[in-house]
Structure 1
Amino acid sequence: MPAQTTFLTTLAATLFFAGGALAEAVPAGTKLVVADQSEFIRNLLDASGEDDKITSDLELPNFAGGPAILEAMRAGALDIAYVGDTPPIQARASGTLLPIIATVQREKSEYHLVARPGLKIDDLAQLRGKRVSYIEGSGRQVFLIEALNRAGLTLKDVTLVPLRVADLPDAIRTQSVDVAVLQEPHVTRLVQQIGASTIADPRERELLPGTWYIYARPDALADPAKHAAIAEFLGATIRAAEWSNENRDEWGKDYYTGFQRIAPEDTAAILASQSLMQFQTSVEGIPHHQRLIDILAQAGELPETFDAKGSFTADFDPVIKAAR
């Protein structure tokens, strides 16, 4: 066989065309373990049909919050993870650099400040003196700090109650906290079931955009087979997100009504409150990440500030551009 033909045959065997960009083929038997939360990624891939396009041996263990995910990352049990905006910052501050491979952003945050039954808060300044849930290393952390900033308050002006993410709904039910930082579907459920209420201050919905990150274990990035599997997974996830943006009713019926067992009218309310998901490259994601770092540093929650650029890898920017 001519040398040129052999080269082209080998090249074709190691590359495939996906989403408009050349990417490495995933070697057979490659295992990829991705941390999920509320089984969001699993349902998104399934509902959109993108799960059928993933050739790796994909596992999606479910976690409740960034701190638990970080522990699993440090133990080498995960390859990549879908986490809120604070976990990569806290991980790096503690000496563990988990490079961010993609940013997912919504125009408005998915977090809400929810008050216990019998307590109504109309202004962020009324948080002063309240017992407020606090989870260091969770995306809820910076959201609360910025809420206090907007009211001219600091963490010292409230009583912080350290909790795990999984304990937040019960903390509101039992009134062991006055205010908790929650996401759907828990917000709607607690409002409907026990008379909890969201904070009425309109600034609460303008605090920060909803930001999530996909970050990776360095050893996984250094493994050529896993690197290819990550690229494939990321492309599928972005296309699935675009599908959900374009098919909101179908997505809501599948995930919220079907999987989360939320009433159809409450699903409609959730979808109406959500901005579309948009994936960003490393260059696009760095400025907001720097803002988050600075917020935490100014609040004294980091030993020192640092340059956001060092938290990102641009390895998958071509995949993001091609798939979105």
Structure 2
Amino acid sequence: MSARTFVKSLAAALLITGSALAQDVPAGTKLVVADQSELIRNLLEASGQRDAITSDLELPNFAGGPAILEAMRAGALDIAYVGDTPPIQARASGMLLPIIATVTREKSEYRLVARPGLAIDDLADLRGKRVSYIEGSGRQAFLIEALNRAGLTLEDVTLVPLRVTDLPDALRTQSVDVAVLQEPHVTRLTHQIGASAVSDPRERELLPGTWYIYARPEALADPAKHAAIGEFLTATIRAAGWSNENREEWGKEYYTDFQRIPASDTEAILASQSLMEFETSAEGIPHHQRLIDILAQAGELPERFDAEGSFSADFDPVIEAAR
């Protein structure tokens, strides 16, 4: 698909009349939202915002962006909560999935963690190491940016393709030297096997934590679903605000009670998380362009493209009013 054709198709998909704030949700409107780790469902229920949603809301749970993309292609989803690279990969493949909201945390929850017996004090020490690599995930962009800061490229390390679930065992068995992990695995592996996070202070400043809510264009073009999306975003933004103000209660309900992880792991997760904030399209575009450029410069995209074309500003009034 040519860039001109993409832009024309996206523009046509986003020609929706009326303000998102002014729309009522017609009775019986169904909205299907892809969830991951049942985060959205738990967030809405714990905060009490689930009761504010009048649509027939379904929240099927998915394990990662690729499965969500396939469901989008099949028309089985209306919108989805995904990591920072799936919208880029979708657009690169010609799939029109405009971003309607950006979710960000000031600091990334990803950490570069070295196997036992290996200390990484400088990002340049990644040269020649066996490093976990998960294409199409936020971990991919995080690793590439770490290499960029050290003046290295993907060719300067040995990439070991893995699934997210395999990362802890890969460090335990020392089949990789460095893995991109999140809490509670960072703290667990530090205590259990003597793994260690990269100590270069630049590692903590690589990228913010970023997620997106993107939409199937046909759902945006449907007035009833469009109204339901606005209502859903309002409830979700308010729920996120509740979680920021009630971190211990949220942590206990979601991580300790729902995920059934020890309270000490919950503490590690919460300590690694900055506040959850929602951004409008204008606020989210600059960082999205940075992510596109990181992947393009590393040769992980067929071509560089303009981030602005990936966003719909239609729900910016909703975001501004709800946060």
After TM superposition, the score normalised by the length of structure 1 is: 0.89
Contact 2:183 2:268 in 1 (8 A): no
Aligned to 1:277: 276
Contact 1:115 1:172 in 2 (8 A): yes
| Structure-2 separation of matches of 1:146 and 1:248 | 30
Shift of 1:174: 3.3
Q: Deviations over 1:132-163 (max 9, x none)?
A: 12122111111110001111110001111122
Change (3 A) 1:148 1:312: same
Q: Any gaps of 5 or more consecutive residues in structure 2? A: 1-19
Tell me which amino acid in the other structure corresponds to 2:312. Answer: T
Aligned-residue CA RMSD (Å): 1.7
Aligned to 1:259: 258
After TM superposition, the score normalised by the length of structure 2 is: 0.89
SS of 2:108's partner is coil
Q: Deviations over 1:111-146 (max 9, x none)?
A: 111223333322211211122121221111111100
Aligned to 1:123: 122
Tell me which amino acid in the other structure corresponds to 1:197. Answer: S
Count of residues paired in the alignment: 304
Shift of 1:178: 2.1
Deviating more after overlay: 190-199 vs 66-75: 190-199
Q: Deviations over 1:224-258 (max 9, x none)?
A: 22111111111111000001111111111111222
| Structure-1 separation of matches of 2:129 and 2:62 | 29
Contact 1:65 1:165 in 2 (8 A): no
| Structure-2 separation of matches of 1:64 and 1:165 | 10
| Structure-2 separation of matches of 1:76 and 1:247 | 36
Matched, 1:103 2:127: no
Change (3 A) 1:228 1:274: same
Tell me which amino acid in the other structure corresponds to 2:120. Answer: I
Aligned to 1:4: none
| Structure-2 separation of matches of 1:194 and 1:61 | 36
Matched, 1:63 2:41: no
Contact 1:104 1:279 in 2 (8 A): yes
Tell me which amino acid in the other structure corresponds to 2:250. Answer: W
1:61-210 aligned within 5 A? 61-210=60-209
Deviating more after overlay: 106-115 vs 26-35: 26-35
SS of 1:251's partner is helix
Matched, 1:40 2:36: no
Tell me which amino acid in the other structure corresponds to 2:78. Answer: D
Q: Which of structures 1 and 2 has the bigger CA Rg?
A: 1
| Structure-1 separation of matches of 2:40 and 2:130 | 33
1:294-305 aligned within 5 A? 294-305=293-304
Shift of 1:58: 1.6
Contact 1:32 1:57 in 2 (8 A): yes
Deviating more after overlay: 187-196 vs 283-292: 187-196
| Structure-2 separation of matches of 1:116 and 1:79 | 41
Contact 1:23 1:231 in 2 (8 A): no
Deviating more after overlay: 24-33 vs 314-323: 24-33
Q: Deviations over 1:269-293 (max 9, x none)?
A: 3222211111000011111111111
Shift of 1:183: 2.1
Identity %: 87
Change (3 A) 1:146 1:79: same
Aligned to 1:3: none
| Structure-1 separation of matches of 2:114 and 2:210 | 23
Contact 2:292 2:307 in 1 (8 A): yes
Tell me which amino acid in the other structure corresponds to 1:112. Answer: R
Matched, 1:237 2:236: yes
Contact 2:154 2:298 in 1 (8 A): yes
Shift of 1:79: 1.3
| Structure-1 separation of matches of 2:167 and 2:66 | 14
Contact 2:183 2:272 in 1 (8 A): no
Matched, 1:249 2:248: yes
